Amino acid sequence: MAKKHIKLVIGIAGLFFLFFFMLLLFFTVILGGNSLPFGDKVAVVEIEGIITESNSINKQIKEYGERDDVKVIVVRIDSPGGGVGPSQEVYRELKKVSAKKKVVASMGSVAASGGYYIAAAANKIVANPGTITGSIGVIMEFANAEELLKKIGFKGYVIKSGEYKDIGSPFRGMKDEEKKLIQDVIDDVYKQFVDVVAENRRLDINAVKKYADGRIFSGTQAKNIGLVDELGNFNDAIDIAASMVGIKGKPVVIYPEKRGMGLWELIFGNTANQLFERLRGNYGLLYIFPYGINR
């Protein structure tokens, strides 16, 4: 008798499980289109605005790289670039993932300088015909307020441990030897950028240098000189990514969880955030197209 009760309980539990599973499947298909919780997936990593940090982006890349159900990663880039360090860190993480999974870069309105540096890590780059890209180069900006400070009677004092410790100080002009020191650093970091483009795009380094003078290109122009593989929008990039790994039909696309919107963003929006990031990131080496910030 007890065995019959156990079998009955197991049978009822099984029916309930099957019912809820079918209910979940029904609502997933009806409400979520093709976003089923199983099967091969295309994962999207979004890089937007000025690149000031890499941790959150690299966390997503690493997570997708470790998931067996994620077969290909699409990096959606809508950025004029940013700090050299963060750009290089994201690039390196993508290169590590691309050793085991395909990576496709999809360029939005702007994918320039550091944005292009990151895109270079992809197996394939897709841009809109009118995407602003390129701007291969390095920039470091300083302000000299010496004359202004004299007019208002303001004096600044610097106590330093070495000759070059206050290099770029706004209290005085820059000496020729200091300019050379900064230029040497710029040239070295610039060479790193050119080498990355030449290696990943399989281009002769002299051919890259010809266009690596900070100039920008449209997506069409970039394709003509080998900086971009194909022209297309984000959906095209998704389809290309799916076909590269043999996913049939409409691919299942997943995105990282969105963080909550802070009070600053709620009141002032993304423009104010970009301005703040721009000001904060001004004191350092930048892979950035500075006039592509306000879009």
Distances (CA, A) of 15 to 2, 18, 62: 20, 5, 39
pLDDT at 140 over 80: yes
| Domain coverage including residue 100 | 34-136+205-292
- Domain presence at residue 74: yes
Q: What's the pLDDT tens digit per position in 225-235?
A: 999 999 999 99
Q: Which of 150, 165, 210, 250 is catalytic?
A: 165
Angstrom distance (rounded) from CA 144 to CA 94: 39
Output DSSP code: residue 153. Answer: T
- Domain presence at residue 271: yes
pLDDT at 272 over 70: no
pLDDT at 124: 98
Angstrom distance (rounded) from CA 18 to CA 24: 10
Number of domains composing the chain: 1
**Residue 165 is a catalytic residue:** yes
- Domain presence at residue 94: yes
- Domain presence at residue 77: yes
Q: Which of 54, 113, 135, 218 is catalytic?
A: 113
Instruction: Please list, in sequence order, all residues whose beta carbon lies within 8 angstroms of the beta carbon of residue 166, skipping any fewer than 6 positions away.
Output: 158, 160
- Domain presence at residue 154: no
- Domain presence at residue 259: yes
What average pLDDT does range 6-27 have in this prediction?
56
**Residue 95 is a catalytic residue:** no
pLDDT at 281 over 80: no
CATH of the domain at 236: 3.90.226.10
- Domain presence at residue 189: no
- Domain presence at residue 288: yes
Residue 14 binned pLDDT confidence (cut-offs 50, 70, 90):
low
